[in-house]
Amino acid sequence: MKRVFLLLLILGLMANVWAETADKPFSENILQLQIYLDQKHFSPGKIDGIQGKFTQQALKYYKDANPNVTDQALKQSLKNISPLFTNYKITTDDKNFIGEVPQTPKEQSKKKKLPYRSYAEFVAERFHVDSDFLAKINPEKDLGKLKPGDMLKVPNIEPFRIEIIKEGKDAEKKAYFSNRSIKINTKERMLKLYEDGQLLAVFPITPGSEHLPAPKGTWKLMSITYLPWFRYDKKMLTKGRRSDNYYQLPPGPNSPVGVVWIALNKKGIGIHGTDKPDTIGRSASHGCIRLSNWDAITLSKMVTPGIKVEID
């Protein structure tokens, strides 16, 4: 990690971390780096302008995968990310993705979908941030009272567009992705995507819990399901065994498995999204591999059924 700190110094970022976070809640220089890494599929996790573990790891792996990119060239690329912020106007169509989400699985199972609870949650996930950061950059806004027509300041990043996700399963093999493979490091909490041994992308994850860890070994990707229904079985989630006491939860961004389920050839185990993106890498899952919804969708478009998945 010393190399990462040195690189941050070369890029002129490290000094700004200390100088800016003392009187501001985030560093615009780190924000610039995070946006760049996110768009290159070396995800730093949520965009927050703070130089944390996943930003450091993403930078390290980006440099490892792109040895011909000089520090000077990278520094220039960061300068080209301008402006850092843009504006998003809430539309009447956005209302289609907002609604009530009950607290218990029993009540959730009675709904047709599990949408965003608020416009703030919708906009935050759309631009890869959490509600706290959205509030920081919009101090004049009451995020609890947003409505169509309101304008919000957001990071200038390719948005996560939930409206273009179509419900259904994709089990078709794509020959042009057949040389790709996934390696998951549960200790490092990173998922890495390779093609013929070349690192293509990295994403922070939450692996299984201490009681139900992600199954180590070599598996195969079987299918990809968008906007999946989820069989909520407490016994399965805590002990790894199915019971007859379960609920079928409808799809949506606030489903426990998020907006996509990438099934492996081990029953009940998959790579999936989440209803709590701010907890990625910072809490436990139930045997599966969890990513933010925006990273999970990105990954799903870069893989195909049949490829190898190694969990270590």
| Catalytic residue (one of 41, 128, 286, 288) | 288
Q: How far is CA 7 from the centre of its chain?
A: 25
167 vs 199: CA distance, rounded Å: 30
For residues 243 and 264, what is the distance between their CA atoms, to the nearest angstrom?
Answer: 21
State how far the Cα of 200 lies from the Cα of 197, in Å rounded to an integer. Answer: 9
Please state whether beta strands 217-226 and 308-311 pair in parallel, antiparallel, or not at all (unpaired).
antiparallel
The structure tokens listed for 132 are 């706290």
Distance CA 78, CA 59 (A): 12
Instruction: Give the bridge partners for 194, in sequence order.
Output: 181, 199
Question: What is the distance between the alpha carbons of residues 152 and 143, in angstroms, rounded to a whole number?
Answer: 10
Q: Which of 41, 128, 272, 286 is catalytic?
A: 272
Phi, psi of 201 (to 5 degrees): -160, 155
Give 68: exposed, middle or buried? Use CB within 10 Å, 0-12, 13-18, 19+. exposed
**CA proximity to 249, closest of 266, 274, 228:** 228
Q: Assess whether 128 carries a catalytic annotation.
A: no
Q: Which uninterrupted H or E stretch holds 103?
A: none
Please give the Cα distance from 27 to 6 (Å, whole number): 18
Tokens for 151? 């304008």
Cβ–Cβ contacts within 10 Å for residue 300, how many? Answer: 22
* Residue 272 a catalytic site member: yes
CA pair distance 299, 297, nearest whole angstrom: 5
Number of CB atoms found within 10 A of residue 36's CB: 20
Q: Widest CA span of the chain, in angstroms?
A: 60
Q: Name the residues annotated as catalytic.
A: 272, 288
